[in-house]
Structure 1
Amino acid sequence: MSLLTRMRDALPDLLSDIGELVRCESPSDDLAAVARSAEVVARVGGRRLGVAPERIVRDGRTHLRWRFGAGPARVLLLGHHDTVWPIGSLATHPFTVDGGVLRGPGCFDMKAGLAMIFHAVAALPDRDGVTILVTGDEELGSPSSRTLVEQEATGCAAALVLEASAPGGALKTERKGVSLYRVRATGRAAHAGLEPERGVNTTIALAEAVLAVAALADPSLGTTVTPTLLTSGTTTNTVPAAGEFAIDVRVRTRTEQSRIHLSLLGVERKGTFPSLSVAEGALPNHAAALELVGGPNRPPLDAASSAGLYARAEKLAAELGLPPLTCAAVGGASDGNFTAGVGTPTLDGLGAVGGGAHADDEHVLVAELPARTALLTALTTDLLTS
């Protein structure tokens, strides 16, 4: 019996496992929910693999690890069980399978991918050299699991990331690096009607800073610098004495990541933003004090990190009788950025085919699941035996 036929026969079990995972809500910022989800992931994985995982708790967040064989790890299969969906989402977005489409909070990003890992590894002729790592804080930027991901990836021949596919089922062969910042402003409060001249207005200072920050983007290089959430002040009749805004930076190269970081460091030195002269001249008494918090979060996953693995996957897909693979460069980041950052060849987007990640229409195409799982099994086997 061919590998693809075996995976098609196993589809009812795969769907059942995905449903079990999706029905346990796991928003990243709810430690108790993430802990409950970890137990469900451990149960589902243990049932398919015949062995329980290690539970690794860091900063209150539960991560799971399966290691097979006594020798060094060769292939890391990587995923996460936390989602962006708040508790109660199942009431409005229940798990369903209808008309060949699977739905439910976190099904596409990325609980279907977890079930695929377990079924793929269960089908391996020899698991020695495989490590499975399932983290619980990826949607937050992996604050507690980054070191763990990097440690497990270091020295491996490959990291295979079961994040959902790009549109049309494309594998993700490039991901932008991410930097996250906050610019905080401190001024002085005053009555907005009686004596506004006595205040130092952080809203004005932040408005100037927002424009200067946005100007650092370079569309020709794919560099985006996006001011996002902004807050300032306390009441409508008070000159705001404090405020801040967040910055989301996406880059294709480490050079650009460094350029943006060095440019933003000037935010703490009054007057270094190109258009911050208003903070010196237009504000009474003195300029609002500006402070930069944050920095690079994930390095880029560049095409060179995935080229060899993608070529292997193309060959194996053809041998399995699957349609030709496609690939995509995406702006979103994943833990695959970290594995590539430590020098481990990385192929991402090997998970479910569907769409709507983080959105009301999140869904998985059921018919694609057996082929994707078979490809993962074949690629892992190829890496272990080469």
Structure 2
Amino acid sequence: MPRTISAADIDEAALLSELKHWVEIETPTRDASAVNRLADRVEATAKDAGLEIERTAGTLGFGDILAVRSPRPAGSNEKGILILAHLDTVHATGTIKKDLLLRQEGDRLYGPGIYDMKSGALMALEAMKIAVHTSTHLPVDLLFMPDEEMGSASSRGLIEAYAHNAAYALVVEPARDGGKIVIARKGVAMYDIVVRGRASHAGSRPQDGRSAILAAARLVLELEAMNDAERGITVTVGTVHGGTGRNTVPAECRLQVDLRLPDGETAYEILKKVENLAPLDPDITVEIKGGLSRPPFALSEEGRRLFDHTARLAVELGIMLEGVSTGGGSDGNFTAALGVPTLDGLGADGAGAHTFDEYVFVRSIAPRTALLANLMLTLNGAL
């Protein structure tokens, strides 16, 4: 049995110093070169620690995907621990100079992307270095994605490829509501709907027109009626764009729709309803594009055992863990949907994700880094 890592084993000052460097390299998802600059720093740090690197060139206009791997015997195919992190943020370049200055106020360390999720990503790398140099039961793969904030379109294939050789998946998205970790997430679906009618003069020939906005309004009511709080179904028409002027019967209207769905059966039911939406007027056409972008992440029995094991380790560090379900998606949705026991929200505690008030609690970083290291040291083939 390897020795237990404590918060005192974590060089907090060095970790915070490096975290500030990571935050200073602003990495909006669509700026591939900026994301790659941070990936360069991560790669150099991992190589200095004796870890193996596999770097996959970015696609679809996104940055590179970086895999940091523990050394393993040639030809080994033992299933191991997959850790998921991302380097991209929602904040535009320049945020750190104006809207969200990098600063510490008491226990709060502020900065763009510091909570979601540069702190968690760095903590995972530090914990991996400690665990690998101590002695792990299972091989460890740490993936740094460049596009999680925009749905992981370029990363999903590689995540799923690694997941097929994983016994467990740990996701270092930020903790929730005072340090809680995520044991389940809703699936996420997105649709773009285009309603087409026929334009005409609103004053002289209104009878010749077919209002796309009127037809779209009826669809909005149908979509919003699918909301069901008891079942955990959320359907939101987020944007509506239509028409060309106040005196013209509108020929086109576009809707953007977001859905959050608790499980696979519910997802199948609701997505079928959305995709079968049809206008009442035969002169109106509806084009529906989209679908499930992140499958539901339901809590499995194996996932429950993984949480229980993690909670026991946390107690030794003075952390009382609580598991929660959330409507937000992450890359953990992909691993859980493939049957890999998955825990999420293992990053730093804090608040303000995606806002100009984003911060982490400094006091959470060392113990939660130690928790990650202890997970890597204690997970084996069966819990």
Match of 2:251 among 236, 241, 254: 241
- Report the Cα distance in structure 1 between the residues aligned to 2:48 and 2:41, rounded to whole angstroms: 11
* Structure 2 residue aligned with 1:95: 102
- Report the Cα distance in structure 2 between the residues aligned to 1:2 and 1:254, rounded to whole angstroms: 38
Given that 2:193 and 2:289 are in contact with CA atoms closer than 8 Å, whether structure 1 keeps it comes out as: yes
Match of 1:86 among 89, 92, 100: 92
Partner secondary structure for residue 372 of structure 1:
helix
2:39 counterpart of 1:38: yes
Partner secondary structure for residue 131 of structure 1:
strand
Larger mean CA deviation between 122-131 and 137-146 belongs to 122-131
* Structure 2 residue aligned with 1:289: 285
Aligned length: 370
Distance 1:74 1:180, change over 3 A: same
- Report the Cα distance in structure 2 between the residues aligned to 1:211 and 1:85, rounded to whole angstroms: 33
2:98 counterpart of 1:76: no
Cα distance per residue 1:20-70 (max 9 Å; x no partner) = 111111111233333333223333444455554424422232111112213
Distance 1:50 1:345, change over 3 A: closer
- Superposed counterparts of 1:210-359, under 5 Å: 210-267=220-277, 270-271=278-279, 277=280, 280=281, 286-304=282-300, 306-318=303-315, 320-359=316-355
- Report the Cα distance in structure 2 between the residues aligned to 1:12 and 1:53, rounded to whole angstroms: 29
Amino acid at match of 1:110: M
User: What TM-score results when the alignment is normalised by the length of structure 2?
Assistant: 0.91
Amino acid at match of 1:115: L
Given that 1:56 and 1:65 are in contact with CA atoms closer than 8 Å, whether structure 2 keeps it comes out as: no
User: Which structure has greater helix proportion?
Assistant: 1
* Structure 2 residue aligned with 1:191: 201
* Structure 2 residue aligned with 1:152: 162
Partner secondary structure for residue 168 of structure 1:
coil
Given that 2:170 and 2:346 are in contact with CA atoms closer than 8 Å, whether structure 1 keeps it comes out as: yes
RMSD across aligned C-alpha pairs, in angstroms?
A: 1.9
Partner secondary structure for residue 164 of structure 1:
coil
- Report the Cα distance in structure 2 between the residues aligned to 1:110 and 1:172, rounded to whole angstroms: 15
Given that 1:75 and 1:384 are in contact with CA atoms closer than 8 Å, whether structure 2 keeps it comes out as: no
Moved over 6 A (4+): none
Report deviation, 1:104. Answer: 0.5
Given that 2:53 and 2:69 are in contact with CA atoms closer than 8 Å, whether structure 1 keeps it comes out as: no
* Structure 2 residue aligned with 1:174: 184
Given that 1:172 and 1:347 are in contact with CA atoms closer than 8 Å, whether structure 2 keeps it comes out as: yes
Given that 2:51 and 2:69 are in contact with CA atoms closer than 8 Å, whether structure 1 keeps it comes out as: no
User: What TM-score results when the alignment is normalised by the length of structure 1?
Assistant: 0.90
Report deviation, 1:119. Answer: 0.8
Amino acid at match of 2:367: A
Given that 1:107 and 1:364 are in contact with CA atoms closer than 8 Å, whether structure 2 keeps it comes out as: yes
Given that 2:171 and 2:342 are in contact with CA atoms closer than 8 Å, whether structure 1 keeps it comes out as: yes
Cα distance per residue 1:131-178 (max 9 Å; x no partner) = 010111111111111111111111311000000011010010111111
Distance 1:5 1:289, change over 3 A: closer
* Structure 2 residue aligned with 1:59: 60
2:135 counterpart of 1:126: yes
Match of 2:374 among 369, 375, 378: 378
- Report the Cα distance in structure 1 between the residues aligned to 2:166 and 2:265, rounded to whole angstroms: 26
Report deviation, 1:384. Answer: 4.5
* Structure 1 residue aligned with 2:23: 22
What percentage of residue pairs aligned between the two structures are identical? 35
- Report the Cα distance in structure 2 between the residues aligned to 1:7 and 1:183, rounded to whole angstroms: 54
Amino acid at match of 1:362: E
Structure 1 unmatched ranges of 5 or more? 272-276, 281-285
- Superposed counterparts of 1:362-373, under 5 Å: 362-373=358-369
Amino acid at match of 1:175: R
Amino acid at match of 1:126: S
